[in-house]
Amino acid sequence: MQFVLLQALFLPLLLSPVAYYLGRKSGPTVATWFTFGLLAYCTVLVITPALSGSYEEHYKWTQLFGEFGLLLDGLASPFAIIIYVISTVLVLFSKPYMVSRITTMFEERISEKHLVGGSTEVIESSSLKEHLNHQIGAYYALFLVMAMGMLGTILATNLIEFYVFFELMLIPAFFMLAIWGYESRRRVALLFLFWTHVGAVILLLGFLSIGLSVGSFNYADIKAHGIPPHVLGLAAVAIIVGLAVKMAAFVVHMWLPHVYRASPTPLNALSSGAMLGVGAYGFFRLIIMLMPGQYEHLALALNIWGLITMIYGGVMALVQDDIRKLFAYSSISQMGYIMFGIGTVSVLGLSGSEMMFVSHSLGKVILFMMVGAIILQVKTRSLTKMGGLAGKMPITAVCAMIGALTLMGVPPTSGFMAEWTMFYGALQTAIQQGSMIRMATFGLGLVATVITMAYILWMIKRVFFGKLPENLENTKEANWYVTGPMMVLAGFSVVIGIYPDIFFNQIIPFMKGLVGV
Partner 1 sequence: MAILPFDLGLGLGALRAWGIWILPFVAALIIPAVAKASKRATGWVAVAFALASAVSALTLLPAALGNHEIHNQISWISSIGIKAGVLADPLAVIMSNVVAWISFLIFVYSTGYMKGDKDLTRFFFWMAFFLGSMQLIVLSDNFLQLFFGWEGVGLASYALVGFWYKDKKKDHVGVEGRHVLGLMDYYSPTHSGMKAFIMTKVGDVMMLAGMFLIFAFAGTFGFRELTANTSWATAMAAQHLLIPAAVLLFGGAIGKSAQFPLNEWLLEAMTGPTAVSALIHAATMVKAGVFLVARLAPLFFALAAIGINMDQFFEIIAWVGAITALLLATQGMVHPEIKKVLAYSTGSQIGYMMMAIGVAGLSKQFVDGYTAGFFHLISHAMFKASLFMAAGSILHIVGSRFMTDMGGLRKYMKKTYAFMWAAGLGLMGAPFITTGFWSKDAIFGAIYESGNTWALPLFAIAVITAVITAFYTTRMIGLVFFGNKSKHVEELEKEGHHIHEASASMWIPYGILAVLTIAVGVMGLAFEHQIHDLFVNYLGTTFGIKSDVGTVATESQPILGGFLQGVNPIALTASLSAFAIGFVLGYIFYIGRFADPVKFVNSNIFFYAIHKFFLNRWYLNALIYWGFVVAPLYVARGLYKYFENFVLEGFNVIPEKTMAGGARIMQATQTGVSQSYLYIFGVGILIVVFLLLI
Is the Cβ of residue 365 or residue 404 nearer to partner 1 in the bound state?
A: 404
| Helix or strand holding residue 185 (H, E) | helix 185-214
Nearest approach, Cβ of 52 to partner 1 (angstroms)?
17
Nearest approach, Cβ of 115 to partner 1 (angstroms)?
29
Identify the residue among 99, 227, 390, 514 touching partner 1 (CB under 8 A): 390
Identify the residue among 41, 106, 465, 487 touching partner 1 (CB under 8 A): 465
Q: Which residues pair with 72 in a beta bridge?
A: 55
Range in contact with partner 1 (rule: CB under 8 A) among 11-19, 20-28, 40-48, 313-321: 313-321
* Residue 27 lies near partner 1 (rule: CB under 8 A): no
* Residue 348 lies near partner 1 (rule: CB under 8 A): yes
Is the Cβ of residue 44 or residue 254 nearer to partner 1 in the bound state?
A: 254
Is the Cβ of residue 88 or residue 413 nearer to partner 1 in the bound state?
A: 413
- Residues 6 or more apart whose CB falls under 8 angstroms from that of 339 comprise 244, 247, 249, 280, 283, 302, 303, 305, 306, 309
- Residues 6 or more apart whose CB falls under 8 angstroms from that of 110 comprise 123
Residues in region 399-418 near partner 1 by CB under 8 A: 405, 410-412, 416
Length of the chain: 517
* Residue 337 lies near partner 1 (rule: CB under 8 A): no
Contact 422, 340 (CB under 8 A): yes
Q: Which of 146, 136, 24, 132 is nearest to 83 (CA)?
A: 146
* Residue 332 lies near partner 1 (rule: CB under 8 A): no
* Residue 442 lies near partner 1 (rule: CB under 8 A): yes
Q: What is the DSSP string of 51-78?
A: HTS-EEEEE---TTT--EEEEE-TTHHH
* Residue 509 lies near partner 1 (rule: CB under 8 A): yes
Identify the residue among 3, 59, 194, 480 touching partner 1 (CB under 8 A): 194
Q: Which of 180, 208, 198 is nearest to 252 (CA)?
A: 198
Identify the residue among 105, 191, 444, 487 touching partner 1 (CB under 8 A): 191
**Which residue blocks in 156-180 are alpha helix, DSSP H?**
159-168, 170-180
Instruction: Round to whole Å and give the CA distance between 340 and 312.
Output: 13
* Residue 504 lies near partner 1 (rule: CB under 8 A): yes
In Å, how far are 22, 105, 162, 186, 391 from 175, measured between CA atoms? 20, 16, 21, 9, 37
With H, G, I as helix, E, B as strand and everything else as coil, classify residue 121.
coil
* Residue 457 lies near partner 1 (rule: CB under 8 A): yes
Is the Cβ of residue 175 or residue 423 nearer to partner 1 in the bound state?
A: 423
Identify the residue among 108, 130, 296, 501 touching partner 1 (CB under 8 A): 501
* Residue 424 lies near partner 1 (rule: CB under 8 A): yes
Identify the residue among 180, 464, 481, 492 touching partner 1 (CB under 8 A): 464
* Residue 318 lies near partner 1 (rule: CB under 8 A): yes
Q: Which of 72, 91, 89, 79 is nearest to 144 (CA)?
A: 91
Q: Which of 390, 283, 410, 297 is nearest to 341 (CA)?
A: 283
Nearest approach, Cβ of 473 to partner 1 (angstroms)?
13
DSSP code, position 286: I
Nearest approach, Cβ of 254 to partner 1 (angstroms)?
5
Q: Which residues pair with 70 in a beta bridge?
A: 57, 156
Give the CA radius of gyration of the chain.
22
Residues in region 65-124 near partner 1 by CB under 8 A: none
Is the Cβ of residue 58 or residue 187 nearer to partner 1 in the bound state?
A: 187
Identify the residue among 168, 454, 488, 495 touching partner 1 (CB under 8 A): 454
Nearest approach, Cβ of 457 to partner 1 (angstroms)?
5
Range in contact with partner 1 (rule: CB under 8 A) among 110-118, 123-131, 227-235, 439-447: 439-447
How many positions of this chain bind partner 1 (CB under 8 A)? 51
Instruction: Round to whole Å and give the CA distance between 493 and 273.
Output: 13
Identify the residue among 1, 201, 301, 319 touching partner 1 (CB under 8 A): 319
Identify the residue among 97, 139, 175, 255 touching partner 1 (CB under 8 A): 255
Identify the residue among 151, 247, 427, 515 touching partner 1 (CB under 8 A): 427
Identify the residue among 450, 479, 480, 491 touching partner 1 (CB under 8 A): 450
With H, G, I as helix, E, B as strand and everything else as coil, classify residue 158.
strand
> Which CB contacts under 8 angstroms, 24+ apart, belong to 180-183?
180/98, 180/101, 180/102, 180/105, 180/135, 180/139, 180/263, 180/264, 180/267, 181/262, 181/263, 181/264, 182/261, 182/262, 182/263, 182/264, 183/262
Identify the residue among 27, 53, 292, 388 touching partner 1 (CB under 8 A): 388
Range in contact with partner 1 (rule: CB under 8 A) among 106-114, 118-126, 249-257, 336-344: 249-257
| Helix or strand holding residue 469 (H, E) | none
* Residue 505 lies near partner 1 (rule: CB under 8 A): yes
Range in contact with partner 1 (rule: CB under 8 A) among 35-43, 169-177, 298-306, 460-468: 460-468
Instruction: Round to whole Å and give the CA distance between 245 and 445.
Output: 22
Identify the residue among 105, 237, 315, 487 touching partner 1 (CB under 8 A): 315
In Å, how far are 2, 134, 178, 493 from 49, measured between CA atoms? 10, 36, 37, 22
Name the residues that contact partner 1, by CB under 8 A.
Answer: 191, 194, 251-252, 254-255, 258, 315-316, 318-319, 348, 388, 390-391, 405, 410-412, 416, 420-421, 423-424, 427-428, 431, 442-443, 446-447, 449-450, 453-454, 457-458, 461, 464-468, 499-501, 504-505, 507-509
